[in-house]
Amino acid sequence: MIKKKQPKLKKEPLTLKKSGISLSIGKQKESRKSALINKARNGARARLEGLVSDLSRVRDDLGTRIQQQAEEIKIKNGLLRNGAEKQVRSEEEINICIKAMESTADGIFIIDARDPDFPIIYANHSFQKMTGYAKSEILGRNSFLFYGVDTNPRVGNEIKQAMHQGKSFHGDVLNFKKNGKKCWNSLRIAPVRDPNGAVTHYIGIKTDVTRMREKELKINEQREELLHVTRVGKLAEFVSSLAHEISQPLTAILSYSQAAQRMLAGREPEIKKILSYIISDDQRAVEVIQRLRSLLKKSKPEMKPLDINTLINETVVLIATDATVRNDVLKIELTSGLPFINGDRVQLQQVLLNLVSNSFEAVENSPEPREILISTSRKDTDTILVAVKDSGCGIPAQDIPKLFTHFFTSKPDGLGMGLSISRSIVEAHGGRLDVKNNPDRGATFYFTIPAVIKDVL
């Protein structure tokens, strides 16, 4: 409490002249001053107490507000921490997703559907590897540019139609890499929508199924070969019976021709010459049928020492007429002094006839001159080389590796067995049959065959 300093009262000396009334008035004034002082003191005390009370209320209100703000800050701090943790987790999940997409063997790409050009905005490493394009060549470019210009347009139109309609697509697509190499992909494209249902992006996944496709094609080829073998097996039964039936009229033709020769002895030399040709061809036909029947019976070939040049001359006589009719030039260049070979005459003639027949067909549509050259030479001391060279159209490079496989043919009416059988025959004689394209035009089929050591003869 604040104490006020009381004013000092001026004391006046009492005189005998003053009466008792004067003393009483002085006491009243002193009492009134004391009351005023007390009243002032009480007012000051009340105001001070009010001020203290106001300050207390302000303090309490301020403390409450501070406490509320502290609680709010605490809550906000918690929310910030949760948000930060969620952001960290979200970033980790995004990084995991990106790493997973980059490490997968499937090609993953994302298309911006809001752009009418459908540009690619993301492509993982596998997509780059599948297409052969670098990332800088992919991003921002139309997604349909990476299917290849030779892709089936029907499939491309199906993909475009599905994307324009906001639908998914799933199917196998034949693609072409940047270097032009073919590859099969299993393609899946699905739309990505915003909260309103509008398509904003497309995500695509490409799986390389090239090997699977090649295996399927191989299985189909093997299935066709099996069916073909079955048909050939049934045909063999028919051919065996037919060979037996043909042998009888051939025997009759031989008998009649020999009888006509005897009747014309000493006259009509031209007719006798024609009869000799008939007899020679008849005898060869009989031998072919006999070998065919032996082949069907799985009997061993008759291996004998042969002069390869003589064998070729005999074969040329058989095909000379065919060459003349075709207007083809048939030449022979035979190296003299070659050692004998050990083989089956009919089988080796079959190989030569097959190779020359292929050459006839190869030069059929070629410009003049249409030439076929049969040659022999010595590859080394113990090996003879026989070649049939033509000036035809040559052989496509992609067909050469499968040219000698069973049932492969480029002819509409071919069986695909001639070259395969010819290679088998040559290999059975210890040699090797092969082919190469000539530097200028045409192709050359050639085979090697071992020479017979003189001491054996």
Per-residue model confidence (pLDDT) at position 14: 45
Comparing C-alpha atoms, which of 218, 204, 201 is closest to residue 169?
204
Superfamily holding 104-208 = PAS domain (3.30.450.20)
Instruction: HSE, CB side, 13 Å, CA atoms: give it for residue 220.
Output: 6
Q: Which two tokens mark 212?
A: 């699977």
Residues 169, 189 contacting (CB under 8 angstroms): yes
Lookup result for tokens 């059988």: 421
CATH dotted code for 210-299: 1.10.287.130
Does pTM surpass 0.75?
A: no
Report the alpha-carbon distance of residue 359 to residue 316 in Å, rounded: 13
Pairing outcome for strands 383-390 and 371-380? antiparallel
CA distance 99 to 95: 6
Looking at residue 294, its pLDDT comes to: 57
- Cα torsion 288, 293, 296, 297 to 10°: value is -130
- Taking the C-alpha atoms of residue 213 and residue 201, their distance in angstroms, rounded to an integer, is 30
Whole-number pLDDT of residue 9 = 47
Instruction: Specify the pLDDT at position 288.
Output: 67
Residue boundaries of the structural domains of the chain: 33-99, 104-208, 210-299, 302-450
pLDDT at 310: 92
For the chain, 457 residues long, give each residue's pLDDT as a single digit of tens: 444 455 554 445 444 444 555 556 666 777 777 777 887 887 778 788 778 787 788 777 887 888 888 888 888 887 888 877 777 777 777 778 777 778 788 888 999 988 888 899 898 888 888 888 888 888 888 877 776 656 677 877 888 888 888 889 888 888 888 887 888 888 899 999 998 989 999 998 988 888 888 888 777 776 666 655 555 555 556 666 666 677 778 788 878 788 887 887 777 778 878 888 888 777 777 776 765 665 555 556 678 899 999 999 888 877 776 677 677 778 889 999 899 999 988 788 888 888 888 888 888 777 777 888 999 999 888 899 999 998 888 888 877 777 777 655 665 555 556 788 888 889 888 999 998 998 888 889 999 999 986 544 4
> Quick one: which H or E segment has residue 454?
none
Report the residue count for the chain: 457
- Rounded to 5°, the CA angle 380-384-388 comes to 125
Q: State how far the Cα of 36 lies from the Cα of 229, in Å rounded to an integer.
A: 141
- Helix 269-296 / helix 210-263 crossing angle, nearest 10 deg: 140
Please provide the CATH number assigned to the domain covering 302-450: 3.30.565.10
CB distance 193 to 146 below 8 Å = no
Question: What pLDDT sits at residue 17?
Answer: 47
